[in-house]
Amino acid sequence: MKICIIGAGVSGLQTLKVFNDEYECHIFDKNEEPGGVWYKNYDGYSLQVPKELYEFVGFSYNEKEGTFPTGESVKKYINDYIEHYKLRKKSIFHMKETIDTIIQLPNKKWQVVSTKTSYEFDYCIVCSGMYNVPYIPYEYEFEETLHTSEFVDASVVKDKKVLVIGGGKSSLDCAFESTKYAQKVSIYSREMHWPVPRFVFNIIPFKFLTCSRLGHFLLPKHWNITSEENKWHERLNFLKNIYFSLLEKVFSIQFGLKEIPKNSLVKDLFNGGQILNYDYYNCIKNGQIRKIEKGDVENYIEESDIVICGTGFTKDYSIFHDFESLGVEKDGLWLYKNIMHPTIENLAFIGSEVSTFNNILTQYIQAKWLRYHLDNKGLESDIVPSLKLMNDYIEKEKKWKRSWMLNTKERSSLIQLHMTKYHDILIEDIGKDKIKNKFCNWFSPITAKDYNTHL
């Protein structure tokens, strides 16, 4: 089978590694080198999670556990992964080759048209990432406007008046980096998000509360649970509410918040989540960064020399010749297990329609799940799901998420802290046991190392 992989970031590279021993794999990317967002990003970018939560399965990161590596360090780690597994020798890399369109042919194969030529593949795997098209609202489009992804050298704001738009992590990082050079830095955001400290109470690493089975149990219950699990959730629901109320108070104190976000912590975490140090908030306290109110934003735009927009990204499905057939809804593209389209054959999405707090691990498990299904395609078995099974699963997922998650355009992709359950579902599908399922290790974070010999 000849496979097309679109995107050479961590999801595409892991997919390549999983498939290239038995399949002819071609990987495409618009950049000159692999790495995705880690190939080039804003000045000062780094991991917002400790290295053990952003590690390839079977290939350890040569950094001390608990550290938060820089973007350059992550980039080198990715290149080391490519070299270690000899991915360039075992596959065909199409770097600096943008995909213009992909067309499903009558024989269910894919015609892939790039900026250089046209190809034909048996299977297409989209690994272009959750967010791939920078978005700048029209009201902020000026001659001196940059998206945070373009803010690769903070010295461009030297002696300038800077206005940062947005309340996400990239906006906060760019505002902080700007203080090193700019004459004046201001920031405006329509809504505030909950900051999550790297260490809760300045003692406990946040991963113990977010990436363990105990942390998962404390969340709003998943729809795919047993009746016994449901009973325990119902019995202890009041404790879960107390737990998140306490965390909100603790985080408010740790960051010295004078106001709190309008959304609860548990809901806000499923709308992205920010794991931060105290750099940005210290700059707010000492006046290096001024937070401005909505009514003042137009005045600040007029007096600013440069506007940096951390206004997010949009999903772009225009590479599909018949993108309407995808059935994208207002809250995203709903797929079977966030991987497989229920009605379009020979098409899958790895990493591009899913968001968790350990994306790199999630993407690898997705790739292993897909490989298992492709290896068994055409066999007389129950491994390949029926259309009814896929649609039933998607409908249950929709109903559950829409009952409590914030209504955002990427809601279909959001798994976030429910990744423990999601990973369990995928590995059980391929006949593997759950990781750290005994009560004695419910407090221990689950990381890539736990899967080194498991998958």
Residue 290 main-chain phi, psi, to 5 deg: -105, 130
Separation between Cα atoms, residue 214 and residue 239, nearest integer Å: 13
* Long-range contacts at 55-58 (CB < 8 A, ≥ 24 apart): 55/360, 55/361, 55/447, 55/448, 55/449, 56/10, 56/14, 56/81, 56/360, 56/364, 56/448, 57/361, 57/364, 57/448, 57/451, 57/452, 57/455, 58/448, 58/452
Separation between Cα atoms, residue 7 and residue 30, nearest integer Å: 8
Higher pLDDT, 314 or 378: 314
Q: Which residues of 169-204 are buried (b: 16+ CB within 10 A; e: fewer)?
A: bbbbbbbbbbbebbebbbbbbeeebbbbbbebeeee
pLDDT digits (tens, 9 = 90+) for 347-364: 999 999 999 999 999 999
CATH pick for 2-132+315-451 out of 3.30.465.10, 1.10.3720.10, 3.40.190.10, 3.50.50.60: 3.50.50.60
pLDDT at 191 over 90: no
Contact of 80 with 69, CB cutoff 8 Å = no
pLDDT at 69 over 80: yes
Contact of 196 with 276, CB cutoff 8 Å = yes
pLDDT for 379 equals 56
**Residue at token pair 């978005």:** 135
pLDDT for 228 equals 95
Which residue(s) pair with 414 in the sheet? Answer: 355
Q: Which tokens belong to 274?
A: 């920010």
pLDDT digits (tens, 9 = 90+) for 98-115: 999 999 999 999 999 999
Give the pLDDT band of residue 316 (cuts 50, 70, 90).
confident
Q: Which tokens belong to 409?
A: 């355009």
Give the pLDDT band of residue 400 (cuts 50, 70, 90).
very high
pLDDT digits (tens, 9 = 90+) for 167-185: 988 999 999 999 999 999 9
Amino acid at 244: F
pLDDT digits (tens, 9 = 90+) for 216-233: 999 999 999 999 999 999
Q: Strand, helix or coil at 44?
A: coil
Query: Are the folds of 2-132+315-451 and 135-193+273-313 the same?
Result: yes
Q: Which residues of 64-91 are buried (b: 16+ CB within 10 A; e: fewer)?
A: eeeebbebebbbebbbebbeebebeeeb
pLDDT at 271 over 80: no
pLDDT at 86 over 60: yes
Tell me the pairing of strands 355-356 and 414-416: parallel
pLDDT at 78 over 90: yes
pLDDT for 392 equals 96
pLDDT at 384 over 80: no
pLDDT for 382 equals 60
Contact of 408 with 271, CB cutoff 8 Å = yes
Mean pLDDT over the full length of the chain = 92
Higher pLDDT, 107 or 312: 107
Query: What are the residue ranges spanned by the domains of the chain?
Result: 2-132+315-451, 135-193+273-313
Q: What percent of the chain has pLDDT over 90?
A: 79
Contact of 364 with 18, CB cutoff 8 Å = yes
Across residues 112-125, what is the average pLDDT?
Answer: 97
Across residues 143-153, what is the average pLDDT?
Answer: 90
Q: 253-257, 286-290, 377-381 — which is least confidently predicted?
A: 377-381
pLDDT for 378 equals 61
Other CB atoms within a 10 A radius of the CB of residue 294 amount to 9
Across residues 305-331, what is the average pLDDT?
Answer: 92
Name the fold adopted by 135-193+273-313: FAD/NAD(P)-binding domain (3.50.50)
Across residues 187-198, what is the average pLDDT?
Answer: 92
Contact of 11 with 81, CB cutoff 8 Å = no
pLDDT digits (tens, 9 = 90+) for 402-433: 999 999 999 999 999 999 999 999 999 999 99
Element (H, E) at 429: helix 419-429
pLDDT for 381 equals 55
pLDDT at 302 over 90: no
Query: Is the whole model's pTM more than 0.75, yes or no?
Result: yes
pLDDT at 210 over 90: no
